[in-house]
Amino acid sequence: MLSKRSRVLIAVAALLLAALFVFPIWSVYLNAPQYPEGIGMHIWINTITGVKEHDLQNINGLNHYIGMKRIEPDAIPELRLMPFIVVALIAGGVAAAALGRTLLARIWVGAFLVISLVGLADFWKWEYDYGHDLDMENAIIKIPGMSYQPPLIGTKQLLNFSATSLPGIGGLIAIFSLGMAVVVLVFDKGAAARVAAATVPAARARVANT
Amino acid sequence: MSLTRRSKYLASAGAVLLAATYLYACAPRQKVSGIGNLGDAASRTYVAPGSYDEFYFFTSGGFSGQVGVYGLPSGRLLKVLPVFSQNAENGYGYNSETKALLNTSYGNIPWDDTHHPSLSMTNGEHDGRWLFINANNTPRFARIDLAKFETTETLEIPNTAGNHGAPFATENTEYLVAATRFSIPLPQKDESFGDFATKFKGTISLVKANEFGKMDVAFQILMPGFDYDLGRPGKGPSHGWVFFTSYNTEQAYTKLEVNASKNDKDYMAAVNWKQGEKCVAEGKAKTWPTKYYHNVLDDATHTATSEVKTSVKMLLPEDCPGMVYFLPTPKSPHGVDVDPTGEYIVGGGKLATVIPVHSFSKIQKAIADKNFEKDVYGIPVVNYAASMFCEVANPGLGPLHNEFDEKGNVYTSVFISSEIVKWSLPGCKVLDRVPTYYSIGHLSVMGGDTRKPYGKYVVAMNKITKDRFLPTGPELTQSAQLFDISGDKMKLLLDFPTIGEPHYAQGILASKIKDNQVKFFKLADNNHPYVAKTEQATGLTRSGKTVHIKMTAIRSHFAPDNIDGVQVGDTVLFHVTNLEQDWDVPHGFAAIGSFSDAELLIMPGQTRTLTWIPNSPGVFPFYCTDFCSALHQEMQGYVRVAAVGSTVALSATTSKRSLKALEQATGSAR
């Protein structure tokens, strides 16, 4: 069984994921000499928007020069799926906390981790696809060998634009939530107590007293 | 919980937070504009009160249709010179003296789009006589007299649509060149768009320009239906040739941004105009019926008149072998520029990844050896390798235009990456690059298109300004940026706002112009049909519904000042002569409700006419608009307007001096 504190913290970690409905998961910022104010887009669990109101429209306008496909949130099925996945994750975490079963909590954290990695891989795949699947027939600027895949995380120069990709506030909170859940499980009182019991008997008493 | 465990929790949470903070620290921030330390820029561009700038800098007004005159290095605006747009500020293009300068075969056109100023040349150097500029929309050339800073002659360019590749002057201003951006059916006819490739043609024009009042199309060359973009005449050894870029050699007629960007190379046309002259002399040109206007502002009458011309000499390349060749040039080339030695012809492939440099001597050799890859519409295409001198690598994204200094350096404007790239000729190596704010189009080195550039400064003419100046709503100022090029590294000195779009500009040493200035017009030489050279010579005459008022202006009164006998619906023409014979004493003239005209700004010794049509009875004032003297505010008068059919005769009051003369002139006794 998880300690009471751990159960509370797991529940908090799960509920923190609700932030994904309020803040973007990931953001891509584009900087170029002609765009001193910057231009960029936020990726949310259910849509993609511009950092500024018309940024996505303007990014699509710029991308037409290089023959990149239009970024159409409605054409990305993952964005329809993701809210359900997040709700399921929240529910799973809360359930694990309510039941207090260590195994259940571990399964939940494992699922959370796998979903996060699959999500990142999927994001990378979309970036690869947008960056490489160029309509060379209708592209205006054609540079042999040039592709326009933005980085998953970090900064990369794409022609006159420097593209920076970073987790958004929602993404950071999710990372924090995942990190917190892992830490909670690693340092869970029950588990720690068992370790302590095997090594320093005095520690058990101290743990029990806390 | 033990301290250790608590610290572990805290450390873990801290690590995550730290990671998050770190990530955000990497997020891009708004860049600090400028180049950081500008050093002595302020003192380099400071021209003390009362001192003069070293250069006149003539910028095209772009879609304002005018020319901006600036001083450099200060960037101070000296004059907005009206050329192809009406200018209410001084009545240019409104008043009957200057209106004819805007006459075309399409009618009287109130606006145009000026792109490329070109200073007149002698031996390949600026001579300070004239500035020429093109009208892009309704194709025309204008001559601006640099002794008067006045537009004195305009010429319509026939068989042309989008007069963009113009009006670059040859070494001795023998010709100004022009090329049509839009190919069109020639002669004009309502052809189908689908017949673009077969029925649409381009033209290249050579326009005589070395004599005021005699500007005319010497001959035109009928070209395949591409889009011709820019042109530059040769220099020194290449004098006698002119080079034009073209794009849309795909001959697309829809969605050009894609369909005209497919070919790996388009063509630069190398035109031997001396050969063209020879063919015209040999009678090989066709007489091509057309209609175009030539308008000249007469020095003595201060009035422009129009003549209509009805044909041009048209040369077909096949009738004049040796006149036109095509040089393959990568990729929708925009700019073409000839270096001061005349040997290197530098292209600017706006979608290319290199800057191509053709060699004039290699072109000549290729032509002599018939080293051609094919014919296009009967025009030989020189093998790319045979004319190519070098391709400059790593020039930035979107190289457009090139200018030259006196030390063998080339300055290339690069649009997409928004920078100036400096490289060496004949070294073909990039030496330096500097960002521009933002999206540079043309650039201009002082004297940078001549055989002897002055160097010193390069000016970037930018397409957008965004955050560079205090914002002014959606429509922001246009701007130019001054860079010092005297050292190895280009150095930003100054941003300055400009009128319209500063599309291209040329800088000339002020000493070549400033001492030739006309300070005022000699009244004695004024031959305007309605001039009044003295107050005694003023007068009123009626002919039907038209009333001519010969009026004078001198500090601080008009003569006559009160006018009676005008009726509703009369066309009243105020012919105002400025009697002053001193520097900087213009008078202005405005009448209430003059809906068909702007004000007049009348230079000393000049006569200008304001048209005024009263539409109701009453007494209506007019006044001097240019603050001329201590009693400027007293410089005024009235017109009394009666209903139609009134029997009041024309009469006027004025100063005692001219009263008598007026009585004689009008036959009225008061």
A172/B23 CB distance under 8 A: yes
- DSSP count for chain A of H helices, then E strands: 7, 5
B397/A159 CB distance under 8 A: yes
Tokens of B282: 């040999």
d(CA A82, CA A76): 11
The mean per-residue pLDDT over the stretch A51-79 comes to 94
B181 φψ region: left (φ > 0), alpha (ψ -120 to 50), beta (else):
alpha
Write down the mean pLDDT value for chain A: 90
Q: In what order do the strands lie in the sheet with B388-393?
A: B333-338, B344-349, B354-359, B388-393
Cβ–Cβ under 8 Å, residues B504 and B116: yes
Tell me what pLDDT residue B13 has. Answer: 56
* More reliable by pLDDT, B407 or B20: B407
Does the structure show a pLDDT above 70 at B553?
A: yes
A155/B9 CB distance under 8 A: no
Q: Is A32 on the interface with B (CB under 8 A)?
A: yes
Write down the mean pLDDT value for chain B: 92
Tell me what pLDDT residue A70 has. Answer: 95
What residue has token string 């008078």?
B587
CA-to-CA dists, residue B360 to B240, B335, B339, B379, B388, angstroms: 12, 17, 11, 18, 9
Banded model confidence at residue B93, pLDDT cuts 50, 70, 90:
very high
Picking from A35-44, A78-87, B16-25, B87-96, which range would have the lowest pLDDT averaged per residue? Answer: B16-25
The dihedral of CA B563, B565, B567, B571: what is its sign? negative
A166/B23 CB distance under 8 A: yes
B13/A180 CB distance under 8 A: yes
Tell me what pLDDT residue A191 has. Answer: 56
Complex ipTM, two decimals? 0.78
Cα of B364 to nearest chain A Cα, Å:
32
CA nearest B260 in A: which residue? A140
pLDDT tens-digit profile of B391-411? 999 898 899 999 999 999 999
The mean per-residue pLDDT over the stretch B656-666 comes to 56
Rounded to 10 degrees, the C-alpha dihedral B647/B649/B650/B652 comes to -120
Tokens of B194: 């689908």
Tell me what pLDDT residue B656 has. Answer: 57
B12/A33 CB distance under 8 A: no
Banded model confidence at residue B654, pLDDT cuts 50, 70, 90:
confident
CA nearest B465 in A: which residue? A34
Q: How many domains does chain A have?
A: 1
Tell me what pLDDT residue B33 has. Answer: 44
The mean per-residue pLDDT over the stretch A99-119 comes to 95
Cα of A13 to nearest chain B Cα, Å:
12
Cβ–Cβ under 8 Å, residues B440 and B458: no
Q: Which residues of A touch B439 (CB under 8 A)?
A: 33-34
Percent of chain B with pLDDT over 90: 87
What residue has token string 């994001």?
A123
pLDDT tens-digit profile of B570-605? 999 999 999 999 999 999 999 999 998 999 999 999
CA nearest B31 in A: which residue? A36
Cα of B4 to nearest chain A Cα, Å:
11
Domain range for A18 = 4-209
Cα of B20 to nearest chain A Cα, Å:
6
Tokens of B1: 């919980």
d(CA B439, CA B415): 5
Q: Is A31 on the interface with B (CB under 8 A)?
A: yes
Provide the chain A residues 127-186 that lie in CB contact (below 8 A) with chain B: 138-143, 153-155, 159-160, 162, 164, 166-167, 172, 175-176, 179-180, 183
Compare CB distances from B20 to A36, A164, A176 and report the shortest one's residue. A176
CA nearest B439 in A: which residue? A34
The mean per-residue pLDDT over the stretch B383-387 comes to 97
Does the structure show a pLDDT above 90 at B125?
A: yes
Which residues contact residue A54 at a Cβ distance below 8 angstroms, ignoring those fewer than 6 apart?
A: none
Compare CB distances from B30 to A32, A36, A160 and report the shortest one's residue. A36
- β-bridge partners, B150: B145
A142/B351 CB distance under 8 A: yes
Question: What is the identity of the amino acid at B509?
Answer: L
d(CA A203, CA B120): 97
Compare CB distances from A187 to B8, B16, B351 and report the shortest one's residue. B8
CA nearest A38 in B: which residue? B30
Q: How far is CA B113 from the centre of its chain?
A: 8
A34/B464 CB distance under 8 A: yes
Compare CB distances from A183 to B1, B9, B33 and report the shortest one's residue. B9
pLDDT tens-digit profile of B497-551? 999 999 999 999 999 999 999 999 999 999 999 999 999 999 999 999 999 999 9
Tell me what pLDDT residue B350 has. Answer: 83
**Which residue segments constitute the domains of chain B, with CATH numbers given?**
91-225+285-319 (2.130.10.10), 529-666 (2.60.40.420)
Phi, psi of A159 (to 5 degrees): 50, -125
pLDDT tens-digit profile of B294-317? 999 999 999 999 999 999 999 999
pLDDT tens-digit profile of A176-201? 999 999 999 998 876 555 555 555 55
User: Rg of chain B over CA atoms, in angstroms?
Assistant: 30
Tell me what pLDDT residue B22 has. Answer: 53
d(CA B181, CA B159): 11
Cβ–Cβ under 8 Å, residues B360 and B237: yes
B257/A140 CB distance under 8 A: yes
B657: enclosing H helix or E strand: helix B656-666
CA-to-CA dists, residue A206 to A197, A200, B5, angstroms: 11, 10, 12
SS (H, E, C) B265-276: EEEEEEEEHHHH
- β-bridge partners, A166: A27
Which residues contact residue B112 at a Cβ distance below 8 angstroms, ignoring those fewer than 6 apart?
A: B65, B84, B85, B135, B136, B137, B138, B140
Chain B residues interacting with chain A (CB cutoff of 8 angstroms) = 1-2, 5, 8-9, 12-13, 15-17, 19-20, 23-24, 26-28, 30-31, 33, 257-258, 261, 351, 353, 397, 416-419, 435-439, 464, 466-467
The mean per-residue pLDDT over the stretch B359-377 comes to 97
pLDDT tens-digit profile of B445-454? 999 999 999 9
Tell me what pLDDT residue B670 has. Answer: 41
Q: Which residues of B touch A142 (CB under 8 A)?
A: 261, 351
Per-position DSSP letters for B30-64, written without gaps between them: PPPPS-S--TTHHHHH---TT---SEEEEEE-BTT
Assess whether the previous peptide bond of B187 is cis (omega < 30° from 0): yes
- β-bridge partners, B490: none
Compare CB distances from B2 to A138, A139, A206 and report the shortest one's residue. A206
Does the structure show a pLDDT above 60 at B234?
A: yes
pLDDT tens-digit profile of B471-482? 999 999 999 999
- Preferred mutation among A54, A137, A141, A176 to probe B, highest tally of B CBs within 10 A: A141
The residue among B427, B238, B218 whose CA lies nearest residue B338 is B238
Where in A64-167 does DSSP place strands (E)? Answer: 154-158, 161-167
pLDDT tens-digit profile of A83-105? 999 999 999 999 999 999 999 99
Banded model confidence at residue B437, pLDDT cuts 50, 70, 90:
very high
Tell me what pLDDT residue A47 has. Answer: 96
A180/B16 CB distance under 8 A: yes
A176/B438 CB distance under 8 A: no
Show contacts of A8-12: CB within 8 Å, 24+ apart: A8/A97, A9/A180, A9/A181, A9/A184, A10/A93, A10/A96, A10/A97, A10/A105, A10/A108, A10/A181, A10/A184, A10/A185, A11/A93, A11/A94, A11/A97, A11/A98, A12/A180
Picking from A24-28, B40-44, B296-300, B367-371, which range would have the lowest pLDDT averaged per residue? Answer: B40-44
pLDDT tens-digit profile of B319-360? 999 999 999 999 889 999 999 999 999 998 888 889 999 999
CA nearest A146 in B: which residue? B353
